[in-house]
Amino acid sequence: MTGHVGELASAYLDGETTAEESAKVIAHLAECASCRDELADLHAARSALRGLPVLEMPVSVMVDMGLVPDVVPLRRRPIAWVAAAAASVAIFIGGATLAAPQTVGIPLDDVSSQYEQQVRIDPGLTPPVGVVTEPEGAQ
């Protein structure tokens, strides 16, 4: 190696030099105090950079920069939402069922009796076929 380490210093620290280049750098550093200091400063600067906290880029900035196609909403705890919705529907149907009108059952005999009672008071002209009513005490 005729000159100083120069640009090879950074590649050497990154492990990107070939075996031959690494051997030359090592041989040069053994003789050149200036290059050893330069390599030490470069290593310290890189370590300091790696120690800084990592900040996440805002999604809106990434969208503006075209780094992501669009914003996808995050799904958070879907089971809880489904359970809450199911409970609401169950409460609604239960309440509505209680409020729904109940069917009134009228036996056919009661229908007939109601009619016969009226016919006995106000008969039409048609003969009273089948219009018969129990007297008191009769079987």
Partner 1 sequence: MIRRVTFVAVVAAGVVMASASLAAAGEIPEYLERQATAVYSGEQSVVCITPDGRQTEVFEVGQNAAGVTVTRSQSGTVRAGHSARNEGWDPSDAYRAERSRATTLLGRDVEEISVSDGDVVRLRLRFDVRTGVLLASDIYNADGSTYCSTRFVSFAEGDPGIAAGETAPPLTAPDDLEATSEIDRALPLSLAGFERIRVTEGPQATVVAAFYEDGVFTFTLMNSDNPIAVPELEESGTIDFDGRSYRRAFQLGRAVYAWNSSEGGYVLVGDLPLDVQERILELLPEPESQGFFQRLWRGLFG
Binding residues for partner 1 (CB under 8 A):
93, 96-97, 99-108, 110-139
| Nearer CB in complex with partner 1: 6/123 | 123
Q: Are 116 and 131 in contact (CB under 8 A)?
A: yes
Residue 29 CA to residue 5 CA, distance in Å, equals 8
Q: How far is the CB of 90 from partner 1 (least distance, A)?
A: 14
Q: How far is the CB of 83 from partner 1 (least distance, A)?
A: 23
93 token code pair: 């149907």
| Nearer CB in complex with partner 1: 30/132 | 132
| Nearer CB in complex with partner 1: 34/117 | 117
Q: How far is CA 55 from CA 32, 46, 52, 58, in A?
A: 39, 18, 9, 9
50 token code pair: 């790696």
Q: How far is the CB of 107 from partner 1 (least distance, A)?
A: 6
The count of C-alpha atoms lying within 13 angstroms of the C-alpha of 31, restricted to the half-sphere facing its C-beta, is 10
| Nearer CB in complex with partner 1: 69/130 | 130
Q: How far is the CB of 85 from partner 1 (least distance, A)?
A: 19
